[in-house]
Amino acid sequence: MKIRTKSRKVDKAWLSDHVNDPYVKLAQRDGYRSRAAYKLQEIDEALGLVRPGQVVVDLGSAPGAWSQYLRRRLAPAGGAAQGEVIALDLLPMEPVDGVRFVQGDFREAEVLAQLEALLAGRKLDLVVSDMAPNLSGVAPADAARIAHLVELAVDFACAHLKPQGTLVVKVFHGSGHSQLVRLFKDRFRTVKPIKPKASRARSAETFLAGTGLKAI
């Protein structure tokens, strides 16, 4: 009974935070599918990442807020997009106008091949990844799952980015974080950690941006 009571309290606290969250209200006003759009917006505004004419891949795209933001940035006047956004997620995603979507597990070669087919040999200006595993609460296991997804995103980016392209990934402070920072520094000329204001303060979530591929 105590566990259930605690769970209900947590649920009520989360619901209260969600309802009163200014970014949730902004998302509703601006037509975004989630508050996550403002995380990418802050990262973009800080680093100047997204410009019309680019080819961008959005990994871990569902429910689609990052894809929506990217699509709007590629068509700032509200017209036809100048450039292309290709999104991928394990979960289904409702269509976003002007965004091509692949559903599948990024860890599987067949799914990666579908994504690469859409690229048709084109090099990317930007790869963004909001991918996160289902967390178990067991720190070493969770750190390994997070690291694996980040490493896959880095490998994909290094294979497909233009020489001055950028990769943005979600990471979590805690076990394994310093190793992921080192991985970025080994692969990119410029590495910037960033914690958007839209990312909840109590969350261990943060982001790494790497720009300019190093020769390996």
Q: Are residues 26 and 46 in the same domain?
A: no
Q: Are residues 11 and 117 in the same domain?
A: no
Query: Taking the CA atoms of the chain, what radius of gyration do you get in angstroms?
Result: 18
Structural domain for 21, as ranges: 1-30
Q: Are residues 52 and 117 in the same domain?
A: yes
State the catalytic residues.
Answer: 170
H or E segment and range at residue 191: strand 188-194
Rounded distance between C-alpha atoms, residue 66 and residue 42, angstroms: 12
Q: Are residues 13 and 81 in the same domain?
A: no
Q: Report cis status (omega within 30 of 0) of the bond before 63.
A: yes
Q: Are residues 57 and 164 in the same domain?
A: yes
pLDDT band at 1 (very low <50, low <70, confident <90, very high): very low
Report whether pLDDT(10) > 90: no
What confidence score (pLDDT) does residue 5 get?
A: 43
What confidence score (pLDDT) does residue 133 get?
A: 83
What confidence score (pLDDT) does residue 15 get?
A: 53
Mean pLDDT estimate for the chain: 89
Report whether pLDDT(182) > 90: yes
Specify the number of domains making up the chain. Answer: 2
Q: Are residues 72 and 19 in the same domain?
A: no
Section 124-153 average pLDDT: 88
Q: Are residues 26 and 38 in the same domain?
A: no
Q: Are residues 22 and 69 in the same domain?
A: no
Report whether pLDDT(216) > 50: yes
97-119: pLDDT as tens digits: 999 999 999 889 999 999 999 99
In percent, how much of the chain has pLDDT > 90? 72
Section 44-71 average pLDDT: 97
What confidence score (pLDDT) does residue 8 get?
A: 55
Question: pTM for this one?
Answer: 0.89
Q: Are residues 132 and 62 in the same domain?
A: yes
Q: Are residues 149 and 162 in the same domain?
A: yes
Regarding predicted confidence, which is higher, 95 or 16?
Answer: 95
Section 192-198 average pLDDT: 95
Q: Are residues 153 and 48 in the same domain?
A: yes
Of 103, 41, 100, 36, residue with least CA distance to 70: 41
CATH classification of the domain holding 85: 3.40.50.150
Exposed/middle/buried for residue 116 (C-beta within 10 Å: 0-12, 13-18, 19+): middle
